[in-house]
A and B are shown apart, each in its own frame.
Chain A
Amino acid sequence: MANKKSNVTLQFIPYSELAYLTSYKRVKKLLEVVSEERIILFQGRLSSEEEADLIEETMKKIGKSKKFKGIELTTFSPKVTGLSFFNQVREGIAGFLVGNRDILTIIGPATLVREIKKDPTKIQLLLRK
């Protein structure tokens, strides 16, 4: 039986689709997709400044749209021995979207994703009922 939870769309965005955009356009594109109730999975990660811009733009969008309530965001390295927490901070500073394809970023709309839990080998998306 179909219900709301079965209609979740996961959109994969390849590295090449974001790499050559300006920071502003990158953030705008991600936010556009998320506000269409889709969960984004993309190769690489945003720089720290872009993450801050994404949060800023998210907040502005909440004010404008009734349906949009924000985002859940996480970065993830599939390598088990991958990134410690502080290394994730470092990678963000270096702006590794272009440089590191081993990192995955997940962004979901808060109306759909309640929480994202992660450990080195798995990611759990806890969806809203």
Chain B
Amino acid sequence: MKIRIIPDFFKRIFANLFSVKKNIRLGFYGPPNSGKTTLANRICKDWLGEEIGKVSKIPHETREIQTKEVEIKRKGQTITFKLVDTPGIATKIDYEDFLHYGLNVKESKKRAKEATRGVVESIKWLDDMDVVVVVLDSTENPYTQVNITIVGNLVARKIPVLVVANKIDKRKSDIKKIEAAFPEFDVVGISAKFGKNIEEFYESLFNIVKKKR
């Protein structure tokens, strides 16, 4: 009896130690301009003091996968995350749309080309995620086919999902609409830009990770 208890005790201790140290690949997915990089920047600034990438009002600012390792501490627990900020997923990309933002034809075409590659990369990386934060703009209609496709693929791969209703600082923000669209997921409303409700976000994130274990 004694012999059995002691190894079990050490097994548990070591299992906990390693589970705390485990590197969680945390993906940020969503349509373009929903605030994925802004949220990843917020987390990086909170815990590393530096940003992961540039943000812009022009869609498809993030056109390559960006990663950063960050250790987040909460209520005595520490989890190391590998943040994976992905380009926004879209079903169409027209270089002419970028002209309206003041880019010239050459710049717009280059941006469109890079953006299409970015979408392909985002989809390819889906298989490598441990947990995914689906970032949605809470001022926009959540009932889109892109959102169905993203969430459907995550559920099919059994990847835990946290839905973030971003931009709650804006007047048109409607978290309830996002909650209604995703009744089976945890939805947390935040303003990544201003840090509003960010503690609630960390709480939800830790809960999702705990569930995964």
Contact = CB atoms under 8 A, between A and B. Distances in A.
Interface of A: 47-49, 51-52, 55-56, 58-60, 62-63, 69-75, 85-86, 88-90, 92-93, 110
Contact of A88 (B92, B112, B123, B148): B148
Given A59-B120, A93-B155, A51 B143 contact: no
Contact of B149 (A52, A60, A86, A90): A52
A52 B92 CA distance: 13
A56 B120 contact: yes
Contacts of B156: 47-49, 92-93
B166 to A, nearest CB: 18
A73 B182 contact: no
B116 to A, nearest CB: 4
Contact of B93 (A47, A69, A74, A90): A69
Contacts of A75: 145, 148
Interface string B115-156: 011011001101000000000000000110110110111011
Given A48-B148, A59-B93, 13 more contacts: A48-B152, A48-B153, A48-B155, A60-B116, A62-B116, A63-B113, A69-B92, A70-B92, A72-B92, A73-B145, A85-B148, A89-B155, A93-B152
A74 B94 CA distance: 19
B116 A85 contact: no
The winner among A60, A74, A86 for most chain B CB atoms within 10 A is A86
Given A48-B149, A52-B123, A55-B123, A85 B181 contact: yes
Contacts of B119: 55-56, 59
Contacts of B93: 59, 62, 69-70
A59 B117 contact: yes
A72 B155 CA distance: 23
In the complex, which range does the number of interface residues on chain B fall in? 20 to 34
**At the interface, is chain A mostly helix, strand, loop or mixed?**
helix
Contacts of A86: 181-184
Contacts of A62: 92-93, 112, 116
B65 interface: no
Contact residues of B: prevailing secondary structure: helix
B198 interface: no
A70 B92 CA distance: 4
B143 A85 contact: yes
B116 A63 contact: yes
B120 A110 contact: no
Interface string B99-120: 0000000000000110011011
A110 B91 contact: yes
B152 A60 contact: no
B55 interface: no
28 contacts: A47-B156, A48-B148, A48-B152, A48-B155, A51-B153, A52-B123, A55-B90, A55-B119, A56-B119, A59-B116, A59-B120, A60-B120, A62-B93, A63-B116, A63-B117, A69-B92, A70-B93, A71-B91, A71-B92, A75-B145, A85-B182, A86-B181, A86-B182, A89-B148, A92-B149, A92-B152, A92-B156, A93-B156
